[in-house]
Amino acid sequence: MSTIAAYYNNKSILITGATGFLGKVLMEKLFRSSPDLKVIYILVRPKSGQTLQQRVFHILNCELFKEVREICPNVQEKIRAIYADLSQDDFAISKEDMEELLSCTNIIFHCAATVRFDEPLRSAVQLNVVATQKLLLMAGQMPKLEAFIHLSTAFSNCYRKHIDEVIYPCPVEPKKIIHSMEWLDDAIIDEITPKLIGDRPNTYTYSKALGEMVVQQEGEKLNIAIVRPSIVGPTWQEPFPGWIDTMNGISKIIIAAGKGLLQLQAVEPTNVVDLIPADTVINLTLAVGWYTAVHRPKTMLIYHSTSGHINPFYCKEMGLQLTATLEKIPLEKPFRRPYTIGTTSTISKQYWNTVSHHAYAIIYDFYLILTGRKPRMTKLLNRILKTISKLEYFSSQSWEWTTYNTEMLMSQLSPEDQRVFNFDVRHLNWSQYMENYVLGIKKYLLKEDMAGIPEVKQHLRRLRNIYYFFNTTLFLIACRLLIARSQMARNVWFFIVSFCYKFLSYFRASRMLKA
């Protein structure tokens, strides 16, 4: 049996952010690989009118947990959902629950975070820094704790081009930031935010960097490690390929491209898109948990979960594969045929934005007005472009992450552990992965019907014919206008027509001679 899987059996595991994308994949793998684990405590808040129990029921009944429901029929009994809101001072955990957590927890996986790039600094700090600090304080009071694993992001130091598995300190100490958030009002915080975040693009990356510093400072006496994934995509292999239930990362770009709304993305075609499958991140995280608990490294180790250095996926290749896949597995109700253009040049971006986004939206809105409907495309397009522009910082650049610790860990695993907890992306086939990505988006995220694919393909063929007809008509109108207004255009036109005529006559004559 796998040593790592055996380690988690009979353990009490605390997970924050278990209702999130990565948290669910983490729980699923734990139940599937170590069905004899004692209990998983999850800190959950009620949301969207659902109680804790309803949320847990919903998670356990989703497609992701299909295999777990068979392997571990009593899975419901092994999850202890604890009411908690991490943005509140004492996490709002009841006294009894807190006592149980403190006395029983063996391992903590801290995944909860606000991942929005545009989160106000106050709430980003509250969740990504203060909550981390408080969880570390709690961890310090747990006599049975063996390891604390903190999920950060490979982009926490994205102002650097080359990133090592170390902590890069922020100029202002986290304690000072936390303290200032207590007495500054919102208006002043908004004003100083750009100065504080400095070269970072948003409050997310800044607060995650502060969170790492807190982990380093407050976790000195704990057995602690940090995992830094890059852009997390759907599962690669486990429990099945293509599982995704989040719009984060690049899913929004893919959906907008699949619906034909977005054709241009600010990317340098030769740049690398550092995608990493969710199951790879989770396998590494579980291996890190085991290694930290059992081998107790003397210093806190940071592990990069990235793909670019060993199996680079270039933007151009991704654009081509995405277009091909979206033809094969189209998304429902496309506005246009998917097509991808990548550039970072400002002039080129403005040109393509006008020609392939705004012009189309205006024409479509005009068509809606003519057919007695309310125009909506320009508004929708502007919203999407605004959203996508906030991702531009990440799409227009490339980074290099070193992975010495991750490779060291891989070398420490037995062949069986390397197989069961595979985090080696050298053999990942990107074309296959993109196909499963689109399938996953269609099936699990958008919940579209697979049986509708032939109909959508037919619709796409109609759109292609309209596109050709529209372009040919536009070309002929332009020619006609030019010929009517310019002698030179007329000369060129007559030259082309007489050239074609002569060529055809020559071709016919030579065929007759041969006959």
Ligand X SMILES: CCCCCCCCCCCCCCCCCCCCCCCCCCCC(=O)SCCNC(=O)CCNC(=O)[C@H](O)C(C)(C)COP(=O)(O)OP(=O)(O)OC[C@H]1O[C@@H](n2cnc3c(N)ncnc32)[C@H](O)[C@@H]1OP(=O)(O)O
Ligand Y SMILES: NC(=O)C1=CN([C@@H]2O[C@H](COP(=O)(O)OP(=O)(O)OC[C@H]3O[C@@H](n4cnc5c(N)ncnc54)[C@H](OP(=O)(O)O)[C@@H]3O)[C@@H](O)[C@H]2O)C=CC1
> Given the rule CB under 6 A, which residues bind ligand Y?
17, 19-23, 43, 45, 47, 84-87, 111-115, 127, 151, 153, 208, 229, 231-232, 246, 248-249
Q: Is 17 exposed, middle or buried (0-12, 13-18, 19+ CB in 10 A)?
A: buried
Q: What are the backbone dihedrals phi and psi of residue 151, each rounded to the nearest 5 degrees, phi first?
A: -90, 120
Position with the least CB separation from ligand Y: 20
Q: Report the alpha-carbon distance of residue 292 to residue 156 in Å, rounded.
A: 22
User: Which residue of 155, 206, 430, 437 would you call a contact of ligand X, by CB under 6 A?
Assistant: 155
State the binding string over 95-124 for ligand X (x if CB under 6 A, else -): --------------------xxxx------
With CB under 6 A as the contact rule, the residue among 107, 222, 231, 381 that binds ligand X is 231
Asked if residues 439 and 233 have their Cβ atoms less than 8 Å apart, the reply is no
Dist CA 477 CA 481 (whole Å): 6
- Nearer to ligand X among residue 196 and residue 262 (C-beta): 262
> Any contact of residue 79 with ligand X (CB under 6 A)?
no
Which of ligand X, ligand Y, none interacts with 111 (beta carbon under 5 to 8 A by kind)? ligand Y
In the complex with ligand X, the residue whose CB is nearer, 72 or 277, is 277
Measure the CA–CA gap between 190 and 389, rounded to whole angstroms.
20
Give me 191's structure tokens: 């004003």
Handedness of CA 394, 400, 401, 407 (dihedral sign): positive
3-state secondary structure at position 231: strand
CB of 392 to ligand X, least distance (A): 8
Burial class (CB in 10 A: 0-12, 13-18, 19+), 450: exposed
- The one of ligand X, ligand Y, none whose footprint includes residue 19, by CB under 5 to 8 A per kind, is ligand Y
341 binds, among ligand X, ligand Y, none (CB under 5 to 8 A by kind): ligand X
CB of 342 to ligand Y, least distance (A): 21
- Smallest separation (angstroms) from ligand Y to the CB of 51: 12
27 CB-near residues (< 8 Å, 6+ apart) = 15, 18, 40, 42, 59, 79
Tell me which of ligand Y, ligand X, none is bound by residue 151, counting a contact when its beta carbon lies within the kind-specific cut-off of 5 to 8 angstroms. ligand Y
Q: Which is nearer to ligand Y, 72 or 93 (CB)?
A: 93
Q: The tokens of 41 are what?
A: 């405590």
Binding-site size for ligand X (CB under 6 A) equals 37
Q: Which does 22 bind (CB under 5 to 8 A by kind): ligand Y, ligand X, none?
A: ligand Y
- Contact between 257 and ligand X (CB under 6 A)? yes
CA distance 62 to 444: 9
> Is 302 a binder of ligand X (CB under 6 A)?
no
Provide, rounded to whole angstroms, the least separation between the CB of residue 321 and ligand X: 9
Structural element, H or E, at residue 477: helix 453-485
Least Å from the CB of residue 379 to ligand Y: 27
Residue 439 near residue 20, CB atoms below 8 Å: no
The residue length of the chain stands at: 515
Structure tokens belonging to residue 355 = 């020609």
Which residues between 388 and 427 bind ligand X (CB under 6 A)?
390-391, 394-395
* Angstrom distance (rounded) from CA 233 to CA 352: 28
Name the binder of 127 from ligand Y, ligand X, none, CB < 5-8 A by kind: ligand Y
Query: Residue 391 binds what, of ligand X, ligand Y, none (CB under 5 to 8 Å, by partner type)?
Result: ligand X
What pairing do the DSSP bridges indicate for beta strands 162-163 and 400-401?
parallel
Residue 340 binds which one of ligand Y, ligand X, none, with CB within 5 to 8 A depending on kind? ligand X
Check binding of 252 to ligand X (CB under 6 A): yes
As a whole number of angstroms, the distance between CA 112 and CA 252 comes to 21
Reported in sequence order, the residue ranges of 462-513 that DSSP labels E, i.e. its strands, are: none
Q: Which stretch binds ligand X (CB under 6 A): 245-253, 290-298, 346-354, 406-414?
A: 245-253
Residues facing 314 on adjacent strands:
272
**Minimum CB–partner distance for residue 163 and ligand X (Å):** 13
What span, in angstroms and rounded, lies between the C-alpha atoms of 496 and 192? 64
Chosen from ligand Y, ligand X, none, partner binding at 87 (C-beta under 5 to 8 Å by type): ligand Y
Q: Which of residues 362-391 bind ligand X (CB under 6 A)?
A: 383-384, 386-387, 390-391
Residues that bind ligand X (CB under 6 A): 115-118, 153, 155, 231, 248-250, 252-257, 262, 265, 267, 269, 273, 315-316, 318-319, 322, 340-342, 383-384, 386-387, 390-391, 394-395
